[in-house]
Structure 1
């Protein structure tokens, strides 16, 4: 009896010890199990949860306003990353830079679109995925009639906005609107002229001023003549500008009299908002005009969202806001200088920009001109 009692007591003691050991480890073990369960559950949830789409846009200032971007993000549950550029050269450099992710959609003029398409950097567009094209003027819907947008029957870009590159002048200093681009060289405006910092456009508008029939394909002799004219133009220049905001600041601060308006009516609107009484004119020789278009890059990581972006940018309300805010024409309004207007003798003479004969040569010469090389260093 005593032996049995001792056995039971020993078993109880051993059991009590085991129970104490279990109780001692139970709480920490339960915590570990709960933590593992939490992390496992959330890892699975994250792996199956839909990730937010990202659209990378490469464009000019005014083409992707904050409220447009927010509305697009909300509608498509996406994030839009916008990168702005201030020149065609900067756009080209961005497209060739070592970006961690490729851009999905870009805005460029027709000459650059042709250049990008030939380089194999754009994707062929499925026009059925851009239904808002129906709001555009018929001229802009006939893509094949606009050089640079269609190749071998395939469309690579959709028109978005355009502007002429005319002359902007201060009405207080110039009472009568200038009739020719040659006014930029007039000695009475010495130190009171602004010019856009671009090799391609400067050579082309100077070629127009000299009366050359094709300002985009200059002969070697014409190229030398234009280069010397651009050197002579420096005598009248206050400075070169890149962005329209920069030009507005310079125009106001230094009482500029005359400017080559690379951004055209957009700059006119900004200057008027700044309180300057400016006029705008298309010279008799004609004015260069750019037509900026949306295109999808060949390496786009989110082409479906890129189509939605282009379609959204062609909505009538966006077009109206573009004109109101930026002073730029939209593709839903009649085109000044289109084929019908020119045939009837009405409207200004616009020369849509084209790819040039030799970009490298123009840029090399422009670097010398812009940096101040003297006239005698340029052969006749």
Structure 2
């Protein structure tokens, strides 16, 4: 009698649990793939279907360089680590019991060690031995942390081999190498292949160790994606991640969906097992040969590319700038006009940039920090005085911006202004009209209970405390512990009203209508207003500088004291001050330009946009951030942790 299978409640919950897990695993990936076809940069507004971001991805030299570096480093380090690790495993296997145990314990330490400790240790070691950080240091670092994983993969297979068979091959006249290749190697091939794939995967995915050991101009996909996320990820990265995911998925399907052997070819179980084992060994050997060949080709091509690059570009410039802070065509134009090759790196925050310059492991020629960080660099003797005879285009810079720069560069000897702006409040006019609320005019308005769940604050210690300090009537540069404690309590009191602490997401959330008010940098205003108009969203976002005053900031170019190409850096500064180049940059980054000649050429509607170009009457009690000293920074950070932990 045929038994009918009933779908029990237990089975339902098991299936539901599986579906739930799959949903949480793949919903973000599906979302990313969908966004890669969105015809707008917004993550909350669908602008129509497009393949533009895929085209832009392949046209983007930064992404392609990062992809090339990633694959080259992963293949090369995995290949070298596999050879070294296999040889080491064979050596350890031949040891006595106690030495072998000690060796394996030592091998396990790097795998259990924190990545950040390994990364910093390797960086310090390279610096101590006078090795400049760059491609070679990343490759050495990846080989170093991959070798233990290869040893761990090969050792179990070595334990399964029969030493007597190897010795018998020697007795029959085979050389040690022939005996190893004919007897030992076929048995350990699965372990060797597993070790290679593990090393390749570990290298492909690594971020922390790469971050600490890379030099100027060296980016992998992990470091590039991290940089993009920190400053507002671009849709081209969605496209890149989608391509990688689909490629891996197809390879997995091809690997796992193999046709079964016809039944008529089946023999005895012993014969089938023997043939299957032989087939697996031959397939594994072919894979290793193929991987080795591909790796060798990539190493040769990579080495040829590096040598060609170094030969072709003996006149270079190393630039370190914030992300999305220059029109990339400007870089190419500078190279075409001067013959100087630009190696361009980006940082996400001033705090990330500073230790790189301070350590001196990577030598940059031109860096673009913010005001307070320039003051810190000056106080720590990290900057070179600029020879302004080589920067005649400084004459185009507005004297007001040079005067502003005196707050961090008292004699205007070490910096050239690049952009400036304010921190203010972006608000949705329609929301305030619909709810009968008065639009915000002061920082105190961000504590209005009527705005509960509609407020976005900057996830930045100085900006958050500036908002709180100013709302209480104190200086944005206060170091008075009582004032700072009061500002902390004020921020904690505000937290129930907030939707979130965010950074670049303010822009997208406000465009998408997800919040009514947000603290934002003035340079975002033009982009936001253009997006609202282009997408015809039917509402208006406006920007206000609060009555209590705000942070009046200025970013400027400086030359580190250890810059290897100082004259090239001065050519770069002069080039950026040229009106046509400064105009290009303004159109691209939309932050206020300090170039008076450019300002005079702008359309009247831009000149009169008081959000971008505020006049003196709006700035009132506004202040430029100052470097307050390490002790004050520590206090700010401790109080900020208390705010975030509440």
| Structure 2 match to 1:89 | 351
Find the counterpart in structure 2 of residue 21 from structure 1: none
Match of 1:124 among 374, 385, 390: 385
Bigger drift between 78-87 and 102-111 goes to 78-87
Q: What aligned pairs does 1:33-112 form with structure 2 within 5 A after superposition?
A: 51-96=313-358, 99=361, 101-112=362-373
Change (3 A) 1:321 1:51: closer
Structure 1's unaligned 5+ residue stretches are 1-45, 375-380
2:407 equivalent to 1:147: yes
Is residue 425–residue 544 contact of structure 2 (8 Å, CA) maintained in 1?
yes
- Pick the aligned partner of 2:510 from 251, 271, 275: 251
Matching residue of 2:42: none
For residues 73 and 328 of structure 1, the distance between their equivalents in structure 2, rounded to whole angstroms, comes to 24
1:35 is matched with none
Aligned residue runs from structure 1 range 288-327, under 5 A = 288-327=551-590
SS in structure 1 of the partner of residue 595 of structure 2: coil
Which has the larger displacement, 55-64 or 327-336?
327-336
Q: CA deviation at 1:93?
A: 4.0
Structure 1 residues 188-236: Cα deviation after superposition (integer angstroms, max 9, x where no partner): 2222211222112221221111111x22023111111111112222222
Question: 1:103·1:300 contact (CA, 8 Å) conserved in 2?
Answer: yes
In 2 relative to 1, CA 298–136 (structure 1 residues): closer, same or farther, beyond 3 Å? same
Normalized per residue, the structure richer in strand is 1
2:126 maps to which residue?
none
C-alpha distance 163-205 of structure 1, shift in aligned 2 (>3 A): same
1:272: how far off? 1.7
> Would you say the 8 A contact 1:106–1:295 is kept in 2?
yes
Matches within 5 A, 1:218-367: 218-243=479-504, 246-253=505-512, 255-261=514-520, 263-264=521-522, 266-275=523-532, 277-333=540-596, 342=616, 346-349=617-620, 350-356=622-628, 358-367=632-641
1:200 aligns with 2:462: yes
Q: Distance in 1 between matches of 2:498 and 2:416?
A: 36
Cα distance change on mapping 1:324 and 1:127 into 2, 3 Å: same
The verdict on how the C-alpha distance between 1:81 and 1:236 changes in structure 2, with shifts beyond 3 A counting, is farther
1:194 aligned counterpart, secondary structure: strand
Please say if residues 200 and 356 of structure 1, whose CA atoms lie closer than 8 Å, have aligned partners that are also in contact.
no
Cα distance between partner residues in 2 of 1:202 and 1:123: 32
C-alpha separation between the residues in 2 aligned to 1:306 and 1:232?
A: 48
- Distance in 2 (CA, whole Å) between partners of 1:67 and 1:50 is 20
- In 1, the alpha carbon distance for the partners of 2:318 and 2:462 equals 27
Q: Which residue does the alignment assign to 2:106?
A: none
CA distance in 1, matches of 2:443, 2:392: 40
In structure 2, the CA distance between the partners of 1:284 and 1:128, relative to structure 1 (3 Å rule), is same
Unaligned stretches of 5+ in structure 2? 1-307, 533-538, 600-606
User: Structure 1, residues 235-286: CA drift from partner, whole Å, max 9, x if none?
Assistant: 222222233xx3322323462111111x21x211222232162101111101
Alpha-carbon spacing, 1:348–1:122, altered in 2? closer, same or farther (3 Å):
same
4+ residue segments displaced more than 4 Å: 96-99, 334-337
* Structure-2 separation of matches of 1:228 and 1:142: 35
Q: Secondary structure of 2:583's partner? A: helix
> How much has 1:141 moved relative to structure 2?
4.2
The structure number with the bigger radius of gyration is: 1
CA-based RMSD of the aligned residues comes to 2.6
Instruction: Give the one of 394, 411, 415 matched to 1:157.
Output: 415
For residues 326 and 191 of structure 1, what CA distance do their matches in structure 2 show? 30
Bigger share in helix:
2
Count of matched residue positions in the alignment of Structure 1 and Structure 2:
311
Query: What secondary structure, in the 3-state scheme, does the structure 1 residue paired with 2:317 have?
Result: strand
Normalised to the residue count of structure 1, the TM-score between the two structures is: 0.74
1 CA distance for matches of 2:495 and 2:345? 32
Q: Provide TM-score, normalisation by structure 2.
A: 0.45
Deviations 1:321-379 (A, max 9, x none): 33333321111247989xxx75xxx3432322222361121122213323xx22xxxxx
